[in-house]
Structure 1
Amino acid sequence: MHPSNDEVAAMDATGLHRDKNYKYIKKMETTFRKLVMMLLGAIVLSSCSEDDIQLEGPNTSCEIIEVTGTISEPTVWKEGFVYVINGSNVRVTSTLTIEPGVIIKMKDARIEVVNGKIIAEGTAQKRIVFTSLADDRYCGDSNGDAAASTPEKGDWEQVYLSTSAGSVFRYVDIFYAGQSSGGNTKAFSIQGQSAASFTFDYCRIAHTLYLPGSSSYAFYGTSAMKDASVSRFTNNAFYDNGRPIYFDAFYQLDPSNLFHNPEKPAMINSHNGIYLNLNTGGSGLSVNWNNTEVPYVSEYVSVMQVHPTATIHIKPNVIVKFAHPGGGIQSYKGNVHVDPTAILTSYKDDERGGDTNGDGSTTVPATGDWKGFRYTDGGTIAYWITGTNILYAGNE
């Protein structure tokens, strides 16, 4: 028996019979599949959604503006758009103003500020977000793949300030950066003394890729970041990174900065410390090392020679860790003041200041892990200082 013409018309492409409700059923199936994909995406992102501050309002799609090349004239990025930088670096040589609530999504690229500046001033209610192109939490599914991709550490490179002065980042989030560039991974970095003139306030850097053995820091201030009146760095938070921050040993870090997620304090950084550039004498400078949330860390390979006109005050309950067998610090006629409750110890010392080197129990501290604390009068008197608060030094 052969099917009638009406029945043939009711067959789908596979030859299977379908009834008059076929179109309605297919529409329901399509809708159901979309709902499943959305649910899967929500499940995948739920854990990280809880980790980070979310913008007010629904997570809806924004109109996409693709950005390439050089921003060579004053430019404003407007709220309600998502600015996508995908596959090629963008250079800023003029003033780029970013309005509160703007989302910037990036993939395999970085922003370079050269002889220009960025003015990114968000608010507590409308934060500005730099994140991965795969991050559907902000402005929806900008890469159009539903739940097929999720944001990962190192999806994009960094924001890089060079020969730039006067940039402002306030209420700004920088997520999923740190893609390797020449073996180095960073979310935000400055190079050159002029670039050290910036404001960084109420910002968050999180989920930055860390590569062991590389110059890998979420915020890389270098030796240029040494004057707190020039490099204004306050009320910021670091979490789920490797090494959070690196700057000159004479930079006075404001105590308002945090090294954990304010919403989930147990979320910290794998190598949680304040990393110092000790390859400097600090002529005429004075600094207080007074942060007690995390240790100060020196990875310098030699003993730091503090300039005779400089002063370092290591304050109560502060922990300083040294990572290299040749590392240490030298006091000239007492210009390095160590409070009796402060501790100088090995980078491997997890008992004091936590697992700062991020290897669990793989390594344990031992005598000779660092050189020690040395006193000199610049003449014939020189000796290694010992005490119950100076641990695992080699003193040779």
Structure 2
Amino acid sequence: MSFNTISVIGLGYIGLPTAAMFASRKKNVIGVDVNQHAVDTINRGEIHIVEPDLDMIVHAAVTEGYLKAVTSPEPADAFLIAVPTPFKSTLNTKSDSAIPEPDLSYIKKASEAIAPVLKKGDLVILESTSPVGATEQMAEWLAAARPDLSFPSPNKESAGEETDVNVAHCPERVLPGHVVRELVENDRVIGGMTAKCSARAVELYKTFVQGECVITNARTAEMAKLTENSCRDVQIAFANELSIICDKLNIDVWELISLANRHPRINILQPGPGVGGHCIAVDPWFIVSKTPDEAQLIHTARKVNDAKPQWVINKVKLAITDFLQANPTKTAKDVTIACYGLAFKPDIDDLRESPALNITKQIADLHAGKVMGVEPNISDLPKSINTFQLSTFVTAKSTADIHLLLVDHKEFKDVVFKSDYLIDTKGIW
């Protein structure tokens, strides 16, 4: 059965580019999102997120009639679910027992929303990053909502039993700022609940994917994405811990890493103020929450990286004390602090799970004086932030007393920066 109409549930940083790629291949695509503003924006041929080249693709797809956005699911031949998978509690590593529990309510709501329009022969793919077993859970929710249709389950997989609806997991593996290219070029891990489910998912993705579609089972596909980001998190934790050790021993960590990396089998990553984004800072918790007694190293890495922002804030507190001791006529209210970079990584506008943003917010909350945020990739701060204001690099550099580099944006590089009160968490100044 061919896929004439494809529905993408969730039109965020992954869902919208995915919908646009199918539409660019002349497939009829129905995007579904509960955000009316996002739906209206897309139907005007515009986008509500920032991603290079995506605006042109969406505009063309909407103009040519291949892409439309709605708030309620409509019948289709394939449904891709790309909704958030947050946690039920705030991430907190102060206690060894504080392990957040994944919140699958968005997946459940999406499943219940598409269930009424499912028909025999349809394909449902979960793209949301999820704990192991989430795809099977989704199939159970769909089966409960539509008892007139048959869905795959682990015991049916072993029996090779055919079902009315095919279900698979295919995690996204793209880099913000390069999503359009990587959706096409990257390999995809396809985890069907049966061999038939995998085959149909491969057929769907080959509509635009030029990379290899590698088949496995649903649980392994779920774990693959979590493993990739957990591995990265552990490597960053080593670099961050090394930077704290070197600071205590009065060693330049950047020079040390550069020297160590001259060994042909050593490749230490660069330390920073923490770990952010919607993947590396989050995905390891899915493993820890599922196997807390076994995931010792992964859990420790999370605690190391989550503790790094407080270490940076403590360095700022020391800088304030040193400044006031050197300037006895001034008080804390007279001290201006500039924080350079708010995004979770260089040269993007994405503030999700950003340690730089959280550090700046905490400094603004505790400091009696002025705090300036310098972020060249955004024009406005989120409405929820009112404790500090955006500033230009030139203004911050010339007026601030204490300078804190948090993100190595290209605008901050190749700059001669001299100050007695400079905290460089990225090693570029």
TM-score band (shorter)? Answer: under 0.3
TM-score (norm 2): 0.19
Structure of higher RCO (CA pairs closer than 8 Å, 6+ residues apart): 2
Greater strand content? 1
Greater helix content? 2
Q: Which has the larger radius of gyration?
A: 1
